[in-house]
Amino acid sequence: MFRIINRVLLAALLAVLLAPACVQAGGYVYHKVDIGAPFTHFDIEDIYQQRWVSTYLRGKPIIILTAHRYQRYEVLKWAETFRREFGLPGHVHLLWVANLRKFP
């Protein structure tokens, strides 16, 4: 009897450990976007209260920088670097968004 219980518990433990994890840290399910997948619609407002709608930004890659408001100076350095390297030549759309509470 002890052997059977031991094997059942071992099988259950292996099933739990070897099962693929579908939930990432924080309880959010991670979905990777495939190449050629439909573009995700969004309507966000940046730190300068300018609205950005995904339908107007088609055709170029979009870099969205987000951070906590206490890290805004560090993100500003990243934003300036990205703007100089990619934004000014017109290769990408660069958005700096401070508050994404209403978006998943």
- For the segment 1-43, what is each residue's pLDDT rounded down to a tens digit? 778 888 887 777 666 666 655 544 555 565 666 777 777 777 8
In a domain, 104, yes or no: no
Q: Classify residue 79: in a domain, yes or no.
A: yes
Q: Which domain holds residue 43?
A: 2-97
pLDDT in tens, 50-89: 788 878 777 778 887 777 767 777 878 888 888 888 877 7
Token reading at 98:
């401070």
Given CA atoms 32, 35, 39, 42 in this order, what sign does their dihedral have? positive
How many domains are there within the chain? 1
| pLDDT tens digits, one per residue of 39-54 | 777 787 776 777 888 7
pTM > 0.75:
no
**Does residue 66 lie within any of the structural domains?**
yes
Residue 102 included in any domain: no
**96 exposure class (CB count in 10 Å sphere: 0-12, 13-18, 19+):** buried
